[in-house]
Amino acid sequence: MPPIDEVVLNFSPASLLLMNVILAVVMFGVALDMRLTDFKILAALPRSALIGLLGQFILLPAFTYLLVTLLKPSPSMALGMFLVAACPGGNISNFLTYIARGNTALSVTLSATSTLCAMVMTPLNFTFWGGLYLPAQDLLKNIALHPIDLVQTIVLITGIPMSLGLYISHRYPRMAEGAKKPMRLFSMGVFLLFILGALAANFDYFLRYIHTVLLIVLVHNALALSIGYSASRLLALPERDRRAVAIEVGIQNSGLGLILIFDFFQGLGGMAIVAAWWGIWHLISGMTLALFWSRRQTPGTGAK
């Protein structure tokens, strides 16, 4: 087997196009469950929302750089960690926050806002921190990544579908109410099957290298959850808001990361395996944490 930095996962152009369409449908389904009034939480709970966004786009990428510098993974794995850290919150974070007795309204607002911010912040964070890490600089030069192309892709597969879903939920609320649950179940189910199919097509590589990313992803995800909760606690947010922020920062949209890896990095092995395992592991860790918190009462109702 070649070194992980030289592995390129097998993914056909037709499969990649289908994967882009599926994620766009997923984002559309998520937006059907949102309302423009959800964004009022930014004004109602400005401190909580600001800490959530700072944790997502400033603290997590910065601490990821420190973690990468400490652990020294292979360059392609390091780039995978930077890309995951640069992605917005994952779609399941709202559900996990609800189970955890956290502030679900804050979680929904952070998910929507971070996804919109990701059109700029994801390519900015990835190119900045990836370029700052010396062992990965040659790999980035060989890839010849153009940030504008990255922005365009994120806009197409997240920004436009979410804007359309928000418009329908606002203009035709009854239609959105009836369609949101089947749309979300269908789109997430198809997306999960598609990811599993992509892993199955590259199962030999996955088995060969998964042991190299198990511990790194576990530590990285634990760091993300800790950053969200610790920053919220340090700034004296109510417990319900702390839980929402912790889950939002700890649950990343690794599906978006995978698509960007296949779109712009030709399925580079270390990046793809890190993002794929992140997508599996953060569901396990997030659900475990949510179930633990569900058994503990949450004093307070929200930050002012």
Digit-coded pLDDT (tens) for 220-274: 999 999 999 999 999 999 999 999 999 999 999 887 888 888 878 877 778 888 9
Distance CA 243, CA 232 (A): 9
Domains of the chain (ranges; CATH) run 9-294 (1.20.1530.20)
Distance CA 259, CA 270 (A): 14
Q: What pLDDT is stored for residue 169 in this prediction?
A: 83
Query: Would you say 86 and 64 are in contact if contact means Cβ atoms under 8 Å apart?
Result: no
Q: Is the pLDDT at 303 greater than 50, yes or no?
A: no
Which among 290, 218, 283 has a CA at the least distance from the CA of 255? 283
Q: What is the mean pLDDT of residues 111-124?
A: 86
Q: What pLDDT is stored for residue 246 in this prediction?
A: 96
pLDDT tens, residue by residue, 137-168? 877 776 656 667 777 777 877 778 878 888 88
For residue 89, list its beta bridge partners.
252
Q: What pLDDT is stored for residue 304 in this prediction?
A: 37
Which among 100, 116, 102, 101 has a CA at the least distance from the CA of 34? 116
- Which pTM does this prediction carry? 0.82
